[in-house]
A and B are shown apart, each in its own frame.
Chain A
Amino acid sequence: MKKLLKYLDNYKKESILGPLFKLLEAAFELLVPLVMSAIIDQGIAQGDTSYILRMCLLLVALGLVGLICSVTAQYFAAKAAVGFATRLRRALFGHIQTLSYSEMDTVGASTLITRMTSDINQVQNGLNLTLRLLLRSPFVVFGSMVMAFTIDVQAALVFAVVIPVLCVVVFGIMLAGMPLYKKVQKGVDRILGITRENLTGVRVIRAFGREGDETAGFDRENEALTRMQTLVGKISALMNPVTYVIINAGLLAILWQGGISVDTGRLTQGQVVALINYMSQILVELIKMANLIITITKALACAARIQSVFDEKSSLEEEGTLCVRTAEDEMEESKTTYGAEVVFDHVGMTYKNAGAESLTDISFTARPGDTIGIIGGTGSGKTSLVNLIPRFYDVSSGSVTVDGRDVRKLSLEELRSQIGVVPQKARLFAGTIRENLLWGDENADEDRLWGALETAQAREFVEKKEDGLDARVTQGGSNFSGGQRQRLTIARALVRKPRILILDDSASALDFATDAALRRSIRQMKEAPTVFIVSQRTSSIRYADRIIVLDDGRMAGIGTHDELLESCPVYREIYDSQFDNGGTGADERRDQKWEQK
């Protein structure tokens, strides 16, 4: 929380004035019993009606001043809390954006989203309440004690005993309850887990006829939860009765003590009434404070979770500044090639928190304009390999160079602007088709957009849309089919005229014909990029200039299709399994076709 407090810096004034006005209000409130006691002792005792009237007017005035102070305090507190939350949200969003793939993998997007939304809201509420009440309640409690002392030291000693006892009891019960509350929460989580599991596995459970056992398991957890809840209930139900007893014991003591003092003439009847009033004020404030502390504890837990996101630093080492291509390079090379040269030199890569290497000793050179196919089983490291090129992750040994320059020495923005990535998961954003395509290059004109759509085999269905490029895309692109989404994400990558194009299994939802047409049209692009195609299927990469075969993070072979069939057993195994024991390759195509029809 401490570190987060810097976002309150702009609101120093508000966060001091807020509690201050609250204290003022409390101070006025503390005067009320005194005035009442004056009414009793002076007004009633002497039958002075006009004095009573004046004192009552004073009471109204006190109330009014209190109202004004309190409204001012609420305003400052709200302003500080909301402003704080706004700054914090902005900073957190900015910070999350700098996190690299590795942190995103470990933390998870859904966690980050909760941190940004509900956690920050909790902190805002906590701060708002804290500014309003944290000083006020103790002030009223101790103020009451002080006021009691000004009335009579002997009677006030009762307060000096009652207040600490009350504090110990209230906070003791709270502290005892807190770990139990956590247990209850765990119980609820278990029930939730069982319910979810039963819904997702309903077919298997019924197929094996295990409904009865599942219900028995649920009942066990349900019963355990109920027992825990009842226990917690019993403990927290102690709070009110116990405080009630203590306060009333205090009251009795004051009555007795007051009686003695009044008898000897040290105190008046009105003053006894004032003491009694102070005692009941303390009770009200202590209960408020207990609630406040619960809220603050929750807010602090949220703040700690938010802080842990801030503590998560991007694992990419210092960003370089070099440009991929200098102006001279441009002059020199523009006539020959557009695509970039990519070289992997003995590259090894280990994911954060993972024991073993995910890529080991990968070396190859992709010449400008080459098409490189990458194939291998799940978990063999295909995606890891291509993710190293735009520097989504850093290598742990060896180096990746683009046009002869180590990617770690390049400016990230510059590097990524040269690369068109089409990730496995075809993700579009809410907006229009045009807005989505402009992600590739903000300044792209109409022709370029249509050109990219054409190459991506998406022109036809976009043209058929009533609004063409301005057709709506719902969140996640759910109003397009899987295949259409994939083609749009490919077009988005093409819009930026990439010098390196990475297709990470991104044609999986396309039928064979479209897939082939797509690959043909990419080959025929005027400004031909260096292309990396990741696939599970040999048919997609068969015609690549070179194919890299990965097996468990190592290169099991590199070469053309024919070379690999000769020399690489892993490749042959994959090929055979897909082409039905050396058959015509027809099955695989037909399977693809059938999946797509």
Chain B
Amino acid sequence: MGAEVKKPAAKHKSQKDTLRKVLHYIRRYWFFLGLSLILAAVTVVLTLYVPVLTGEAVDLILGPGQVDFDGVFSIGATIAVMVAVTSLAQWLMNVCNNKITYNVIRDIRGEAFRRLQVLPLKYIDGHNSGDIVSRVIADVDQFADGLLMGFTQLFSGVLTIVGTLFFMFSIDGWIALVVVCITPVSLLVASFIAGRTFSMFKLQSETRGEQTALIDEMIGGQKVVQAFGYEKKAMERFDEINGRLEKCSLRAIFFSSLTNPCTRFVNSLVYTGVGLTGALAAVSGRLSVGQLSSFLSYANQYTKPFNEISGVVTELQNALACAGRIFELIEEEPQTPDDADAVELADVQGQVEIDHVDFRYRPEAPLIENLNLSVRPGERVALVGPTGCGKTTIINLLMRFYDVNAGEIRVDGVEVRHATRRSLRGNFGMVLQDTWLKAGTIRENIAYARPEATLEEVVEAAKMAHAHGFIRRLPQGYDTVIAEDGGNISQGQKQLLCIARVMLCLPPMLILDEATSSIDTRTELKIQEAFARMMEGRTSFIVAHRLSTIREADVILVMRDGRIVEQGRHEELLRQGGFYAQLYNSQFEQ
């Protein structure tokens, strides 16, 4: 609760902070911004001056035989010119605003994406990807809307109010005073209604949330619902919530929709007030009919920007909140850059040493402590253990997706932190169970590491990965486009494509993740063969699920709860009689 109480102040400060950052992005377009402000001023002043001119023209049309046609014509000409200038200025102003807004959000979006490329894996693993995507897309969009609205309405709104006041006071102070006094009533009414309906809207959105949760469960789980004949029950529960929603929606919508008629009523009061005082002033000769007509049109204009500005302010606050979320992402600490004198790893033999390595994801939970391992070129290391035991942690460290907390990992004697990430990763061929493919053609995917590869090379790699057969049978062969979710090819086929992708470059070291159960037997045999072919003469780290792989490994790392509990060859480990032996022997307990 304490944190909650402190929030407003902190929020206020961070809002200012965000605003400063937004201005920083806008600054690049200062020319357009300045132009837009000048154009807005021109537009407002001219727009406001037109009613004055119209009023003057009306005064030249007094009655039969009392019309000054020359005067009306010259005023009309002036109005025509002004209108032309105003509309041109208005259009240019809008174009400027669009340009600023869309360029600013393009810059921000680009910045956010660039940041994603250098953020440590720790950040990406630790955040829901939907949340990150919504920052880059939805928040940026919302921000754009707010920014654009702010540009087009806030400044011109304020100018309009000031200008109207100025013109009204210059025509007649007393009537202007009447307008100034009555207008706030409209704002009061609007805010009174908004305050009262807030709780109704809250109730509505809560009920809506409740209903969405039910819909989500029942439709998401429809197969179960039908299997157990739960449809009637579901309908009953739905009806109950639906009934409540109807009631509270009606209240919320009706009461909030009172704002419009009420403010309109207040506006009509302003109008009447102007009419009354204006007419009385006209009777006493202080005001001409033309001036009264200008006043009346001001009375209509004056109240509008007030309502707009209150809308813009909420919108801007919302936009700033969104911008804040984007900046959070952009300002996230990037991974430590490569050293200036970092080594490019080339002609790697595949000697890997892990020397007194400590690692933990969270400071309070030690995972790997004092891990030592020496792998000679061409050796195979099997990582075994239950799911979630942290086999991927080792992959993370080898690929330098994460950095060790203490100790060193050396490849061919070079400490990995002294090598460029790019060259280190380029020397590892990685096939994960999570078969990620890019939206694009099969050829593009196989050639992912070497976009310049020829079709022959791609086909060769596919053949070695046993993928050529199924690719050939696809309607467009190597030009078949893989959909965003890869829905048009099977899981096993995706795995084969991932293997082909590595086959094309075949680096000296491999990191392989053996498939578990989701692949059918025949494809799995093909994958095994492809793996075996790749591993020949290469240093390999395999997350192993099959006993054959484990038995043939030169070193087995046995992992449990994120730690390496044992390491050695199959026979040695069995002799030790530890966790590995326990696992191996557990079959006989049945």
Report yes or no: B399 in contact with A234, Cβ–Cβ below 8 A: no
Chain B residues contacting A85 (CB-CB under 8 Å) are 249
**Any chain A CB within 8 A of the CB of B411?**
no
A536:B222 contact, CB within 8 angstroms: no
Interface residue stretch chosen among A57-65, A323-331, A360-368: A57-65
Chain A residue contacts of B325, Cβ below 8 A:
none
A269 interface neighbour in B63, B88, B425, B516, Cβ under 8 Å: B63
Is A280's CB within 8 Å of the partner chain B?
yes
Cross-chain contact A40 with B279 (CB below 8 angstroms): yes
B95 at the interface (CB under 8 A from A): yes
| Chain A residues within an 8 Å CB radius of B69 | 259, 263
Is A291 among interface residues, defined by CB-CB distance under 8 A? no
Bound CA–CA A147/B384 (angstroms):
88
* Closest Cβ neighbor of B518 among chain A residues: A378
Whether B114 sits at the interface, judged by CB under 8 Å, is yes
B155 located at the interface, meaning its Cβ lies under 8 Å from any Cβ of chain A in the complex: no
By the criterion CB–CB under 8 Å, are B399 and A203 in contact? yes
Stretch at the interface among A45-53, A175-183, A342-350, A557-565: A45-53
B67 in complex: contacting residue of A79, A214, A263, A430, CB < 8 Å:
A263
Q: How many residues of A contact B (CB 8 A)?
A: 162
Interface residues of A in 578-592 (CB under 8 A from B): 578, 580-581, 583-587, 589-591
Instruction: Contact check, A93 vs B275: say whether CB atoms are below 8 A apart.
Output: no
How near does chain B come to A19, taking the closest CB pair, in angstroms? 14
The answer, among A117, A199, A416, for a CB contact under 8 Å with B227, is: A416
Residue of B nearest to A268 (CB): B63
Q: Are A590 and B587 in contact (CB under 8 A)?
A: yes
Contact partners of A595 in chain B: CB under 8 A: 386-387, 516
Question: A44 touching B283 by the CB < 8 A rule?
Answer: yes
Which chain A residues lie closer than 8 Å to B114 at the CB level?
215
CB atoms of B289 and A475 under 8 A apart: no
- Least Cβ distance of B239 to chain A in Å? 7
Are A219 and B300 in contact, CB atoms less than 8 angstroms apart? Answer: no
Residues in B with CB closer than 8 Å to A586 are: 547, 584, 587
- Residue of B whose beta carbon sits closest to that of A199: B129
| Residues of chain B with a CB closer than 8 A to A5's CB | none
Within 8 Å CB of B25, what residues of A? none
In the complex, the chain B residue whose C-beta lies closest to that of A189 is B137
In angstroms, how far is the closest chain B Cβ from the Cβ of A581? 7
Contact assessment for B227 and A423 in the assembled complex, using a CB-CB cutoff below 8 Å: yes
Known contacts A201-B438, A240-B94, A580-B548: A49-B492 contact under CB 8 Å: no
Instruction: For residue A213, give the distance in angstroms from its CB to the closest CB of chain B.
Output: 7
Docked complex: A207-265 residues within 8 A CB-CB of B: 207-211, 213-215, 218-219, 222-223, 225-226, 229-230, 233-234, 237-238, 240-242, 244-245, 248-249, 251-252, 255-256, 258-260, 262-265
Cβ of B297 within 8 Å of any chain A Cβ, yes or no, is yes
B83 → chain A closest CB, angstroms: 4
Determine whether the beta carbon of B257 is less than 8 Å from that of A78: yes
B96 nearest CB across to chain A (Å): 10
Q: Mark A469-486, 1 if CB is under 8 A from B, else 0.
A: 000000110000000000
Interface string of A543-572 (1 = CB under 8 A from B): 000000000000000000000000000000
Contact in complex: B65, A263 (CB < 8 Å) = yes
Is the Cβ of A204 less than 8 Å from the Cβ of B401?
A: no
Q: Give the distance in Å from the alpha carbon of A101 to the alpha carbon of B66 in the complex.
A: 84
Q: In the complex, which residues of chain B have a beta carbon less than 8 angstroms from the beta carbon of A90?
A: 238-239, 242
User: What is the distance, in angstroms, from B261's C-beta to the closest C-beta of chain A?
Assistant: 4
Distance between Cα atoms of A67 and B426 in the complex (Å): 74
Residues facing B in A498-514 (CB within 8 A) are 508, 512-513
Interface string of A26-43 (1 = CB under 8 A from B): 000000100010011001
- Interface residue B557 (Cβ < 8 Å from any Cβ of A): no
Q: A98-126 CB contact bits vs B (8 Å, 1 = yes)?
A: 11110010000100110011000000100
Known: A193-B439, A234-B95. A204 touches B72 (CB 8 A): no
With a cutoff of 8 Å between Cβ atoms, the chain B residues found around residue A209 in the complex are 421-422, 425-426, 449
Q: Specify which chain B residues have a CB less than 8 angstroms from the CB of A476 in the assembled complex.
A: 217
* Interface positions of B from 172 to 228, Cβ below 8 Å from A: 208, 211-213, 215-228
Distance, CA A376 to CA B155, complexed state (A): 69
B233-260 interface bits toward A, Cβ cutoff 8 Å, 1 = contact, 0 = none: 1110011001101100110011001101
- Are A109 and B517 in touch, CB under 8 angstroms? no
Smallest Cβ distance from A377 to chain B, in angstroms? Answer: 3
Binary per-residue interface labels of chain B (82-123) against chain A in the complex, 1 for a CB within 8 Å, 0 otherwise: 011011101100110111001101100110011011100100
Q: What residues of chain B lie closer than 8 Å to A200, measured between beta carbons? A: 129, 436
- Cβ-defined partner of B222 (8 Å) among A63, A97, A192: A97
**A238 with B91: CB separation less than 8 A:** yes
Scan A404-437; emit 1 where CB is below 8 A from any B CB, else 0.
0000000001001101010100010110000000
B342 at interface (Cβ–Cβ under 8 A)? no
B80 CB-CB contact with A under 8 Å: yes
Name the B residues within 8 Å of A82 (CB-CB): 246, 249-250, 253
Q: Does A138 contact B (CB under 8 A)?
A: no
A202 interface contact, C-beta 8 A: yes
Residue A596 contacts which of B91, B124, B386 (CB distance < 8 angstroms)? B386
Chain B residue nearest to A416 (CB atoms) is B229
Does B336 belong to the interface (CB within 8 Å)?
Answer: no
Number of A-B contacts (CB under 8 A): 423
A202 touches B124 (CB 8 A): yes
Chain B residue at minimal CB-CB distance from A228: B102
Contact of B586 among A53, A222, A429, A590 (CB under 8 A): A590
* Interface residue stretch chosen among A271-279, A333-341, A448-456, A458-466: A271-279
The answer to whether B439 and A197 touch across the interface, beta carbons within 8 angstroms, is yes
Cα distance A195–B54 in the bound complex, in angstroms: 55
CA distance A241 to B46 in the complex (A): 13
Shortest A472–chain B CB gap in Å is: 15
Find out whether the CB atom of A252 lies under 8 angstroms from the CB atom of B110. Answer: no
Which of A68-76, A162-170, A293-301, A523-531 is found at the contact surface with chain B?
A68-76
Cα of A83 to Cα of B215 in the assembled complex, Å: 19
User: When the two chains form the complex, which single residue of A86, A203, A229, A423 contacts B242, counting CB atoms closer than 8 Å?
Assistant: A86
Residues of A within 8 A of B436 (CB): 200-201, 203-204
A237-B98, A255-B54, A378-B492 known; A223+B106 contact, CB < 8 A: yes
Taking CB atoms, residues of chain B closer than 8 Å to A225 are: 106
Q: With A and B bound together, what is the CA distance between A336 and B215 in angstroms?
A: 43
The proximity string for B residues 448-477 relative to A, scoring 1 for CB distances below 8 Å and 0 otherwise, is: 110100000000000000000000000000
Q: Is the pair A78, B250 in contact by a Cβ cutoff of 8 Å?
A: yes
A-contacting residues, B60-74, CB 8 Å: 60-67, 69, 72-73
A132 vs B254: C-alpha distance in the bound complex, in angstroms? 12
Interface string of B26-70 (1 = CB under 8 A from A): 000000000000000000000000100010011011111111010
Chain B residues with CB below 8 A from A192, complex form = 133, 136-137
* Contact yes or no, A255 B110, CB < 8 A: no
Bound together, the chains give a CA A66 to CA B272 distance in angstroms of: 14
Interface assignment of B348: CB less than 8 Å from any CB of chain A: no
Inter-subunit contact A256/B63 (CB<8 Å) = no
CB-CB < 8 A to A39: which residues of B? Answer: 275, 279
Q: How far is the CB of A533 from chain B (nearest CB, A)?
A: 15
Closest to A238 in B: B91
Q: Assuming the A-B contacts A195-B136, A272-B61, are A78 and B220 also in contact, with contact meaning beta carbons closer than 8 angstroms in the complex? A: no
State whether A213 touches B520 (Cβ < 8 A): no
Complex contact A63–B258 (CB within 8 A):
no
Minimum Cβ distance to chain A for residue B397 (Å): 13
Q: Could you give 30 example pairs across A and B, Cβ below 8 Å?
A: A32-B268, A39-B275, A40-B292, A44-B292, A52-B280, A62-B268, A74-B258, A90-B238, A93-B218, A100-B226, A104-B222, A117-B215, A128-B253, A188-B137, A191-B137, A193-B484, A204-B448, A207-B430, A259-B60, A259-B67, A262-B64, A263-B65, A269-B61, A492-B228, A508-B517, A578-B521, A586-B587, A587-B548, A595-B386, A597-B386
Closest 3 CB pairs of A and B: A377-B520, A233-B98, A237-B94
Given A70-B261, A211-B117, 15 more pairs with CB closer than 8 A: A39-B275, A79-B250, A93-B218, A93-B235, A97-B222, A191-B109, A195-B132, A207-B425, A211-B118, A218-B110, A222-B113, A229-B102, A244-B90, A262-B66, A595-B386
